[in-house]
Amino acid sequence: MNCAFFVSGRGSNFSAILEKKKSGELNINIELVVSSSQNAGANEIARDENIDVFVVNNENQSEILPLLLSKKIDLIILAGFIKKIPDEIIIAFRDKIINIHPSLLPAFGGKGMFGENVHKAVIERGVKISGLTIHIVDEEYDNGKILFQKAVEVLPNDTPQTLAKRILTQEHDSLWRVIKEFSKKYE
């Protein structure tokens, strides 16, 4: 199964996937990383593995779809990608794009709900159980069919940072499992 990862930041989820690939627990080809930032940590991680990195901006956005098609991508994984995916890609890859989100959707999702904003809103609201969601990407932010969720308790003294860290640990142990389910079709 040929995969493309879309990233914007440090890339810890992407790293966790590379580890699972190296350990032999996950059998996929990582053909491409699309990054929305020139300085994303994930770009370096990819280049160290000799994976092509395409840094997207407003001018070259239309080049992504031909690139995905030329690399025969089967599954697109949004691992901390903060930009909206162009509709033409969603249409061409219907049900073949997944996203990981650090809350129990449909709560605390949608436009602007990324990174620390999510955990800050969760704590301010007094929510006792948060977690993570892996879902299919459609035309609306954080809206598609839910494939996987894991609950994480919000502790009385949690800050957005401590909660984010505990959820991230669970993200690293979750995303590869969903990708593995997809990959079974290609074995």
Q: What tokens were used for 19?
A: 């580890």
- As annotated, the active-site residues are 101
Nearer to ligand GRF, 70 or 140 (CB): 140
Residue 86: exposure state from Cβ atoms within 10 A (0-12, 13-18, ≥19): middle
Figure out which of the listed residues 21, 80, 85, 97 binds ligand GRF, where binding follows CB under 6 A: 80
> What is the Cα–Cα distance from 59 to 77, expressed in whole angstroms?
23
100 binds ligand GRF (CB under 6 A): yes
Nearer to ligand GRF, 62 or 117 (CB): 117
Segment interacting with ligand GRF, rule: CB under 6 A, options 10-18, 26-34, 63-71, 138-146: 10-18
- Please work out, in degrees rounded to the nearest 5, the angle formed at the alpha carbon of residue 173 by the alpha carbons of 1 and 74: 15
Which helix (H) or strand (E) segment holds residue 161: the answer is helix 160-172
> What is the Cα–Cα distance from 183 to 77, expressed in whole angstroms?
12
Segment interacting with ligand GRF, rule: CB under 6 A, options 25-33, 43-51, 68-76, 95-103: 95-103
9 binds ligand GRF (CB under 6 A): yes
Residue 148: exposure state from Cβ atoms within 10 A (0-12, 13-18, ≥19): middle
Nearer to ligand GRF, 68 or 134 (CB): 134
141-180 binders of ligand GRF (CB under 6 A)? 168, 171
Residue 22, helix vs strand vs coil: helix
11 binds ligand GRF (CB under 6 A): yes
Compute the least distance from the CB of residue 99 to ligand GRF, in Å: 7
Name the percent of the chain in helix, strand, coil, to the closest 5.
Answer: 40, 20, 40
Nearer to ligand GRF, 70 or 145 (CB): 145
Nearer to ligand GRF, 79 or 85 (CB): 79
Figure out which of the listed residues 46, 89, 102, 163 binds ligand GRF, where binding follows CB under 6 A: 102
Which helix (H) or strand (E) segment holds residue 101: the answer is strand 97-101
Interface contacts to ligand GRF, rule CB under 6 A: 9-14, 79-80, 100-102, 168, 171
